[in-house]
Amino acid sequence: MPVLLDKYPPYYQPKITHRKPPAERSDLGPAAKKEKKDILDTQDTRTIPDSIPENHHTDIQDTDQIEEVQPANNSDSEISRSTSETWSCCLVTKLQLPINWVCCNTLNEKEKFVAHIDPKTRVTDKTINFIGTNLPEIEVRGVPITFVNLPPKICSIKDAEKIVNKVDLIRVCAGTGIVRKPYSEGCEGGVMSKHQVRCKFCAAEKERQRKIEQRRDKAEERKERKKIKMKNTVRSLKRSKLNLLEKVRKYKVRLQNMQAECEKKNEDVLQSAISKLPPAQQEAVKACFNASKRKGPSGNRYTAQWVYECLLMRNKDKKLYNHIRVHQILALPTLSTINGYLRNYGGCFGFQPQTLQMLAEKTADLKTRQRRGQDVKKRKNK
């Protein structure tokens, strides 16, 4: 007996007729069969047999067996609930499903539907629920699918298998790829194109989220740059402060060394060194030299000429005098010290002989009456 092979021509295969099992055959005569047929024709709807032959193949093309799946009423009205449940169960069990498709029961175990299981995640992502001969309910990732071209009515198992094959071609929408919002609000659930991995709504949402993320990244980058800039500024300021402190320390050491050298030198050597300077500068050098011998500003002694110079400087600019004294640029006494020195000095009034001699020379050519009120500085000697 030759073997059944799908790819061989039909004339190489024997003709096999599918007969009902003995348990389902009727032992009634021809008259009884005819009477039973008349009774069934008077009914509005047909019922699907509860038991299905085990040796029945899913690819059924005989008209008699198609009529078993198809309800008798060809009108567009909905079929009853019991007929729908029996019809869907019978149809689902006879379907030849593709890979990764399984037949499942509902929660009440009264109806059956087919579902596709993702081989990677082991999660159901596509479901088809056949309810009567109307269009089935197709859902991809829980979203009802309406963009698949379906036949107007399921009339045979082949129509149902075509629907399953079409749904099998639908690619599940990959979503936005963002953790905080994996799918858009208007996600279609799947796409039909092979070159498309997500629906148009998820693609638009991904682009919008990408721009938001880009703006957020730029803001974070600006903050990071600002933080780095501030950190570098603080570091440079600390370095500058340390450099200034080091310079001040060196200058203090240098000043202390110079003060120690001044203390060791004799006053005669100092006098000979400053003899070429003006008198006011000599007084300033002597005051600084005497101040270097003291540990603090208290207890210093000043000459009368230096006290007069300090009084003149303070009268000209008080702020400048205090600045020079506070920063120890020169050894200047305080105002109370100057007042104490002035109390010990006696005041007097008089003219210098050179002044009177100059006035006599300027007014020698004038009469006595003309000498009053004259500007002597503008007159020339004759």
How confident is the model over 98-117, as pLDDT tens digits? 888 888 877 666 667 888 88
Position 15 scores a pLDDT of 62
Q: Are 338 and 314 in contact (CB under 8 A)?
A: yes
At 254, is the pLDDT very low, low, confident or very high (cuts 50, 70, 90)?
A: very high
- Average pLDDT for residues 54-58, to the nearest whole number? 37
- Amino acid 59 reads D
pTM summary value: 0.39
- Cβ neighbors of 119 (< 8 A, separation 6 or more) are 100
Q: Minimum mean pLDDT among 123-127, 183-187, 260-264: which range?
A: 260-264
Highest mean pLDDT among 2-6, 66-70, 169-173: 169-173
The pLDDT assigned to 159 comes to 81
pLDDT score at 273: 79
Q: What's the pLDDT band for 353 if we cut at 50, 70, 90?
A: confident
The one-letter amino acid at 86: T
Higher pLDDT, 251 or 354: 251
Model confidence at 228: pLDDT above 90: yes
Q: Is the pLDDT of residue 288 over 50?
A: yes
**pLDDT at residue 300 tops 50:** yes
102 within 8 A of 117, measured Cβ to Cβ: yes
Q: What is the mean pLDDT of residues 149-160?
A: 76
CA distance 311 to 315: 6
Q: What are 306-336's pLDDT values in tens digits?
A: 888 888 888 888 899 889 888 888 888 888 8
Higher pLDDT, 226 or 355: 226
* More confidently predicted of 16 and 216: 216
Position 127 scores a pLDDT of 86
Strand partners, 82: none
Average pLDDT of the chain? Answer: 74
Kindly state the percentage of the chain with pLDDT values over 90: 12
pLDDT of 50? 39
pLDDT at 102: 84
What whole-number distance in Å separates Cα of residue 14 and Cα of residue 1?
A: 8
Give the Å distances, CA to CA, from 29 to 47, 128, 165. 23, 43, 44
Q: Which residue has the tokens 């007996």?
A: 1
Give the model's pLDDT for residue 52: 36
Does 375 score more than 90 pLDDT?
Answer: no
How much is the average pLDDT of 1-11?
A: 53
Supply the pLDDT for residue 379: 64
For residue 190, which of 226, 224, 134, 143 has the smallest C-alpha distance?
A: 143
pLDDT digits (tens, 9 = 90+) for 166-212: 888 888 888 888 888 888 888 888 888 878 888 888 999 989 989 99
Is the pLDDT score of 56 beyond 60? Answer: no
